[in-house]
Amino acid sequence: MEKITEAQTILKDLGLPESQQNKVSALTFLALCGIAPDDNWNNAKKQSLTLSKGIMEFANNIYGQDYKQNTRESFRKSAINPFLNFQIIDLNPDNPNLSPQSSNTHYAIKELIIDTLKHYGTDNWSNALELFKKLQFKENIEETALIRQIVINNYKSVENIDIELGRFNVFIGANGSGKSNILEAIAMIGASKGNDLDLDGLMDRGVRIANPRLTLSSFLGKQTNKEINITTVFEDNGKTIPIQSSFESSNINDLYAKWIDKEIESNSPEIIRDYLIEIYSNKNNLSKDDILEELNKKIRNRGIHEDNKYTQILANFAIFNLSTQALRGLYSHSRKVPLGINGEGLDVLISNFNNFEYSKLLKCKIFFNWLDKIIFDKQDEFKLTGHKLGKSTSTLYFHDKFMQKQNNLFSAENANEGILHVIFYLALFISNKTPDLFAIDNIETALNPSLCRSLIKELVTLSKERGKQTLITTHNPAVLDGLNLHDDSQRLFEVYRTDDGMTKVRRIKFKKGAVHKQHKLSEMWMEGLLGAIPQDF
Amino acid sequence: MKIGVICEGHTDRAVIRNILKGLKGVDSSQIVPLRPDYSVDETDLSQMTVDNYSNWSLVKAECENRVKIDRFLSVEGHDIVIIHIDADCSDEYGVPKLVKNADYSEKMRDAIITKINEWLGNKFQDQILYAVAIEETEAWILTIFDKKNSTKSADPKAKLKRILSKMGIKYNNTHASFYEISEKFSKKKHFKKEKFRNYNKSLDDFCQEVEDKL
């Protein structure tokens, strides 16, 4: 039965596990696509079928099988349930309100599968599969909003800067030039928008806590301003959305004092008004007490702050600064999920990747010629067979293709640090559960210069594919060689301090006409041509 | 705006840094050292003498090679390169010493600029500021400490040493030290009040060029 074999191949290509590539799965798939033995796959059509009278009868009548009613469970287990999980079919598309036990329960293949099947057997099949895996899960669709501009006033060494960001932004500068301060200022607005503006909220996002007197800019001969002002301007499908914060400390001399976002306070009346409108629009005849109770509920659940896609993007912002120990699962300081700011949680995140995400992750094989497979020991049983000491909580393992088969598995606890860092960064860019906007401090840690270059190139591609926006700091010139500065979405910035100690930022960009500059950015940086080096040695 | 500086030694750049700040408020962060630089590592440096690491021949080589200037000027906001050279060894680089008459400084400066342009293949002229010190940058610093004309001083280096020693001012041959002793150049008010430019023609010419082109 050639068509059954083809269906099995297609299911495999669509990313279904081996247990869903059997004959029952194949016949169910053929039935739902309405494909008879002599049909062409591009004739696949959407039709609603019940299990017994639709799918099983199709298998028996069209493919000469003899499935009895008592094999229904086998169809459910091998095909229907996994097909639903993998977004291959819809449940009850003609009547979504049917009860789960209804005898009219029916299924239909998704339009996306029909569109994908049109390319089966053509040169475009692998592209069609790639597109399918991307669109298969709604959450795989990338975010469209980007921060275009950040204006920071009065934060640590930043008295005033105005940065126009691209999607992939790299910051270079001498030690102490203020690179991290720029990232922290964004984390502060993030904590505020996440209704989390306290010491824990700031530290969770990677902010180094300082006395408020040091958090406010303080320069010789200049009066200290008591407010930190940060404005971010988003661009989303041609729209411009500014978001502002003005921070003031509740006690400038107290390390533990709370910061207050005055912008949120000033917006409170409008937010409460919106809550009341929502309450009234849902229920008309509420007593005063009921209204107050409903209002309190909303404030408890949502806080008195603006809550929209853009504030959410800011709220999820974090500064990642990896530690090999955290990547190995030997310590876990960061509470942030799914990935901690030091590298925590990598194993759990990637073991829950969907097909699309996992296929992207496997790109890491190009960086490590010894890597055969990534394994997740979900039951954490390998430690009992001597694969790790057991001090690490990571369930991540790797197969080395150069080692003997019985002896080629090693744990994150034993793996080289480079692969852990690379997989972390790939996961951060690939996952739909990680922030859409984030920073990476010192991305070069533990990476070979040549690997830095290739990794950056890959991360630039992923940032576009996955709708991520990032701000990266580095001290390694090789990172710059992975950037293409002729692409406006990739931007390089020099961070430096003036004679008065103020942090300033400028974009490094080539003049028009310098298309064939014939020299590497890494060399230009090392030669001192880009600035971003200490001068007075 | 960033300004690239090619000079004989790090000490010369320290003086230029102060002059640019005093005349035009140029911040140190705007100054990019192109030569001397760190293109020589410590292994090679250990085999070199101060003379072959810090002298006019490196300025000449950089101008003739032009790669670094070209690379620097390819970046947006990088529009000016200052080329500094001392006149003391001019006959070694093909500019014969002239008779020290009234316009000695101007004529030496013109001849040296012609030579620099020759090294540059007559390129980049609109983007170059010529910092020609006659005879040495120390003659410019002398204007801060000795209110006599230093234009024709034969050995300003020795004279500066003598004068500062008498005044009890210690300094050495480093960027930081020269930055400190030439610090008065960094304030416009000192330029006005102490009239440094009146005491050295080549300093005045360089300042004029800075004012005109920057």
Question: With contact defined as beta carbons under 8 Å apart, do B108 and B61 qualify?
Answer: no
Amino acid at A507: R
Contacts B29 to A, Cβ<8 Å: 496-499, 504, 531
**Residue B6 pLDDT class (50, 70, 90 cuts):** very high
Across the interface, whether the CB atoms of A526 and B38 are under 8 A apart is answered yes
Report the alpha-carbon distance of residue A21 to residue A41 in Å, rounded.
17
Domain A2-136 part of CATH 1.10.10.1820: yes
pLDDT more than 70, % of chain A: 97
How many angstroms separate the CA of residue A155 from the nearest CA in chain B?
A: 20
Encode A266-297: b = buried (16+ Cβ within 10 Å), e = exposed.
eeeeebeeebeeebeeeeeeeeeeeeeebeee
Rounded alpha-carbon distances, angstroms, from residue B39 to A32, A227, B33: 69, 44, 11
Average pLDDT over residues A221-244: 90
Residues with Cβ within 8 Å of A79's Cβ and at least 6 positions away in sequence, in order, are: A20, A24, A25, A28, A29
pLDDT (tens digit, 9 = 90+) per residue, A278-312?
888 877 778 888 888 888 888 877 777 777 899 99
Average pLDDT over residues B65-80: 92
Across the interface, whether the CB atoms of B2 and A531 are under 8 A apart is answered yes
How many angstroms separate the CA of residue B79 from the nearest CA in chain A?
A: 10
pLDDT (tens digit, 9 = 90+) per residue, A113-137?
999 999 999 999 999 998 898 888 8
**Does the pLDDT of residue A537 top 60, yes or no?**
no
Report the alpha-carbon distance of residue A35 to residue A437 in Å, rounded.
45
Question: With contact defined as beta carbons under 8 Å apart, do A376 and A395 qualify?
Answer: yes
pLDDT more than 90, % of chain B: 75
**Residue A195 pLDDT class (50, 70, 90 cuts):** confident
Question: With contact defined as beta carbons under 8 Å apart, do A507 and A491 qualify?
Answer: yes
Tokens of residue A480, six digits: 């710059």
Contact of B21 with chain A, judged by CB distance below 8 Å, is answered with yes
Let me know if the fold of A2-136 is the same as that of A319-526: no
pTM for the predicted model, two decimal places: 0.82
Rounded alpha-carbon distances, angstroms, from residue A488 to A165, A463, B54: 10, 14, 40
Report the alpha-carbon distance of residue A311 to residue A27 in Å, rounded.
48
Contacts B77 to A, Cβ<8 Å: 506
Residues with Cβ within 8 Å of A491's Cβ and at least 6 positions away in sequence, in order, are: A164, A165, A166, A168, A169, A170, A485, A507, A509
**Residue B200 pLDDT class (50, 70, 90 cuts):** very high
Question: With contact defined as beta carbons under 8 Å apart, do A7 and A26 qualify?
Answer: yes
Average pLDDT over residues A177-199: 93
pLDDT (tens digit, 9 = 90+) per residue, B104-121?
999 999 999 999 999 999
- Closest Cα to residue A317, out of A204, A426, A427, A424? A204
Across the interface, whether the CB atoms of B4 and A529 are under 8 A apart is answered yes
**Residue A516 pLDDT class (50, 70, 90 cuts):** low
Beta strands in chain B (DSSP E): 2-6, 31-35, 78-86, 128-133
**Residue B167 pLDDT class (50, 70, 90 cuts):** very high
Contacts A497 to B, Cβ<8 Å: 29
Q: Which of B1, B75, B183 to mutate to test the interface with A (most CBs of A within 10 A)?
A: B75
Chain B residue with the nearest C-alpha to that of A498: B29
Instruction: Tell which wins on pLDDT, A191 or A277.
Output: A191
Amino acid at A513: G
Domain ranges of chain A: 2-136, 319-526
Across the interface, whether the CB atoms of B75 and A508 are under 8 A apart is answered yes
Size of interface A-B (CB pairs under 8 A): 61
Q: Helix/strand/coil (H, E, C) string of A396-445?
A: EEEEECCCCHHHCEEECCCCCHHHHHHHHHHHHHHCCCCCCEEEECCCCC
* Helix (H) and strand (E) counts in chain A: 20, 17
Output the pLDDT for position A432: 87
Q: How far is CA A357 from the centre of its chain?
A: 10
**Does the pLDDT of residue B51 top 80, yes or no?**
no
Across the interface, whether the CB atoms of A535 and B68 are under 8 A apart is answered no
For A319-526, CATH gives 3.40.50.300
CA quadruple A263, A265, A269, A272: dihedral, nearest 10: 110
Across the interface, whether the CB atoms of B4 and A527 are under 8 A apart is answered no
Output the pLDDT for position B50: 61
Strand ordering across the sheet containing B78-86: B31-35, B2-6, B78-86, B128-133
**Does the pLDDT of residue A409 top 80, yes or no?**
no
